[in-house]
Amino acid sequence: MGAGVIVQVTPIVACVVLSLVCATALAEDLAAPQAALPANVAPEDAYPTATGVRIGGDEKQTRIVLDLNRKIDMRAFALADPYRLVIDLPQVSFQLPAHAGDSGRGLVKAFRFGLMMKGGSRIVMDLVGPVRVDKSFVVDAADSEPARLVLDLAATDRETYLRAIARDNRTVGGRDVGRRVDRNSTAPANDPRPLVILDPGHGGIDEGAHSRTGEAEKTMVLDFALLLRDKIERTGKYRVELTRTDDTFVALADRVQFARARRAQLFISIHCDALARGDGDAQGATIYTLSDHASDTEAARLAEAENRADIIAGVDLSGEPDAIADILIDLAQRETRTFSTHFARAVAGELKNRVRLHKKPLKSAGFRVLKAPDVPSVLIELGFVSNRDDLKQLMSDTWRSRATDAVTHAVNAYFATRMAGPLPPANPE
């Protein structure tokens, strides 16, 4: 029953497009399997703990010291444009002040830290310029002294810095970053129900937008997605999977591949928006479909911000496709866009009777999570966390219940139409 939703493309175009979406990763998976815990050991005790961080030096030489309760493995590598140093660790419990990384010293402007994936944590340091890692080592705890992770940085020139990055890429090329995706997996042969993928945005070290009172987008959209999953599953008509079910970072490319590998029939990415101070005010939900060119300047700004999610987390995506590849991908996406537009209209139609919509609720933008050539995809911005009324609703159980009911009804309407026959063509952009 769900197979009719998959877009059929010619074998030549399919092969070319599939080859384009295969990315070369920039980092190793350092997460080791966790041993079973004794019954009397709390889960948090299973992970090393970071208890302090110090940065000293100047813009020629800088030392970074991370205090730990026990010795761990680590790997450091650099990224360019902007200059960043990424430190990959096994999963660590960070007991550092909330704003510990807001400012740096010497060669380090600021830094972020957090869970990147299950079993792996990451520290991302924004640099004032190109550096080389002179020394990197971890020492055991001794007497009353904690274990320490130490990195010594020295200023260098851009050419040397870029050569070091290229060398690192050759060393670790071809390995996945973050959550591994089984590219050969298929839908269960004994369950013909359509598969809906829900994609709560951000996660882990990438917190997304923040309200002025501190609520994080990554938490709000995960709560919404879990409730929506339960309601869609309750219909008994669909299978539902989430790209993340906890506070885990998942790369944008991996979110798309997650849906494509499972031959999903619908992909729903869930986010919240925010406007910076001085940019005015806006409120209400918006539903986005894919466009090569954003439908207005607001959509372009939002797409640019969301597409930087991987850079914020310290990992660049694979290189942008060239003009010829863009054309080939567009050929495969045209029919999928018709399905996506149809579902977006269904969502807007259901939401308008239950929650507040943006004054222009249907938009298009170049979000990377919408670029699967064969999976109808939409991105729902639930509201603006920068708006007091929207934030109050986003935090309300009553509002979430009404909104998830609306999206569930839209899913039913979409698949009912898909099963009944061909869709009407989408309006030209």
Q: Reduced to 3 states, what is the DSSP secondary structure of residue 313?
A: coil
pLDDT of residue 22: 33
Cα-to-chain-centroid distance, residue 235: 28
Q: What is the C-alpha separation between 197 and 207, in angstroms, rounded?
A: 21
Half-sphere exposure of 201 (CA within 13 A, CB side): 29
Q: Can you tell me the distance from the alpha carbon of 412 to that of 353, in angstroms, rounded to the nearest whole number?
A: 16
- Cβ atoms of 69 and 144 within 8 Å: the answer is no
Query: 285-290 and 377-384 as β-strands: parallel, antiparallel, unpaired?
Result: antiparallel
Phi, psi of 235 (to 5 degrees): -70, -25
φ, ψ for residue 387, nearest 5 deg: -105, 130
Q: Which CATH number fits domain 2-25+177-420: 3.40.630.40, 3.40.640.10, 3.90.1720.10, 3.40.50.410?
A: 3.40.630.40
Q: How far apart are alpha carbons 300 and 364 in whole angstroms? A: 9
Domain boundaries, given as residue ranges, for the chain? 2-25+177-420, 48-172
The pLDDT of residue 301 is: 63
Beta strands of 283-395 (E only): which ranges? 285-290, 357-365, 377-384
Give, as one character, the DSSP assignment of residue 86. E
- State how far the Cα of 286 lies from the Cα of 273, in Å rounded to an integer: 9
For residue 248, the tally of other CB atoms under 10 A from its CB is 21
- Decide: 254 and 22 in contact? Cβ < 8 Å: no
Tell the CATH topology of 48-172.
Immunoglobulin-like (2.60.40)
Alpha-carbon span 418 to 412, nearest angstrom = 10
* 403 residue type, one letter: A
pLDDT number for residue 136: 86
pLDDT at 185: 46
Q: Do domains 2-25+177-420 and 48-172 have the same CATH topology?
A: no
pLDDT of residue 331: 52
Residue 164 Cα distances to 209, 241, 262, 291, 318, angstroms: 33, 39, 37, 36, 18
Residues present in the chain in total: 429
The token duo for 227 is 């409730």
Both structure tokens of 257? 């591949």
Tokens encoding 99 = 């704003």
Look at residue 2 in the predicted model and tell me its pLDDT.
38
pLDDT of residue 1: 40
Mean pLDDT by groups of 10 residues along the chain of 429 residues? 37 35 30 34 68 92 93 85 88 88 92 81 92 88 88 91 70 36 47 92 89 90 96 93 91 89 93 76 90 67 58 38 45 73 95 92 90 89 93 94 96 83 47
User: Is 371:23 a contact under the CB 8 Å cutoff?
Assistant: no
Give dist(CA 100, CA 112) in Å, integer. Answer: 9
Q: What is the pLDDT of residue 167?
A: 66
Q: In 118-201, at which residue ranges do the beta strands (DSSP E only) sit?
A: 120-127, 131-139, 147-155, 195-200
DSSP string of 224-261, one letter each residue: HHHHHHHHHHHTSS-EEEES-SSS----HHHHHHHHHH
Three-state DSSP at 167 gives: helix
- Neighbour order of strands in the sheet with 120-127: 75-79, 84-90, 120-127, 108-117
> What is the pLDDT at residue 302?
61
What's the pLDDT score for residue 180?
A: 38
